[in-house]
Amino acid sequence: MPQSPDVPLDGLYGDLILEHFRSPRNRGILAEADLESEEFNPFCGDRIILQLKFDDAGTVVEVGVRSEGCSIIQATASLMSEAMKGQKLEDLDALALAFRDTMYGRDEGEKSSVDLGPLKSLTVVRQFPVRIKCALLPWVALEEGIKKYRSSNSHAQSG
């Protein structure tokens, strides 16, 4: 991959990204999941299956991730899976929006109430615009999974 002249050789693959690529967190499929979503990018072969288990209060207690493809999608899925634990659905919405805004550079100069923590390490991907979609695919899976979850739960409650 050609390097941008102002990006160090390890720019895209920083230590934290490589660590999560080599040793992904929450990897595997859950026996029981309340939310499940799968996304696939046919152009590059990236794929993710995301599963969440909630407790009675609606807090994420377990995360299952199976991702295939480049190091960026795998590292993002791992970092995202850690950030989701202990969060409520509304918090996940805010986290996804904050991450998307950050990846598109819309966070500059704004004071977001959402702390991305280690996910901020992925901002280096902005220097490689073609790779932003790799970092966003796990978040698309989350957003689509939340839509399905809300839709199925609203039908269950109204029925």
Residues 81-120: pLDDT tens digits? 999 999 999 999 999 999 999 999 887 555 567 888 889 8
Predicted confidence at residue 8, as pLDDT, reads: 40
Strand arrangement, sheet containing 47-54: 35-40, 47-54, 60-68
> Is the domain defined by 15-153 classed in CATH 3.90.1010.10?
yes
* pLDDT averaged over every residue in the chain: 85
Distance of alpha carbon 126 from the chain centroid:
15
- Mean pLDDT confidence for 52-67: 96
Predicted confidence at residue 155, as pLDDT, reads: 60
- Mean pLDDT confidence for 55-78: 94
Kindly report each contact of residues 29-33 with a partner whose C-beta sits within 8 Å and lies 24 or more positions away, as own/partner. 29/64, 29/66, 30/62, 30/63, 30/64, 33/62, 33/64
Predicted confidence at residue 111, as pLDDT, reads: 56
**Are residues 112 and 101 in contact, defined by beta-carbon separation less than 8 angstroms?**
yes
Predicted confidence at residue 103, as pLDDT, reads: 92
Predicted confidence at residue 90, as pLDDT, reads: 92
pTM: 0.83
How far apart CA 153 and CA 137 sit, in angstroms, is 24
Whether 137 has a pLDDT exceeding 70, the answer reads yes
Phi, psi dihedral angles at 62 (to 5 degrees): -140, 145
pLDDT confidence band for 13 (50 / 70 / 90)? low
Predicted confidence at residue 7, as pLDDT, reads: 38
Whether 5 has a pLDDT exceeding 70, the answer reads no
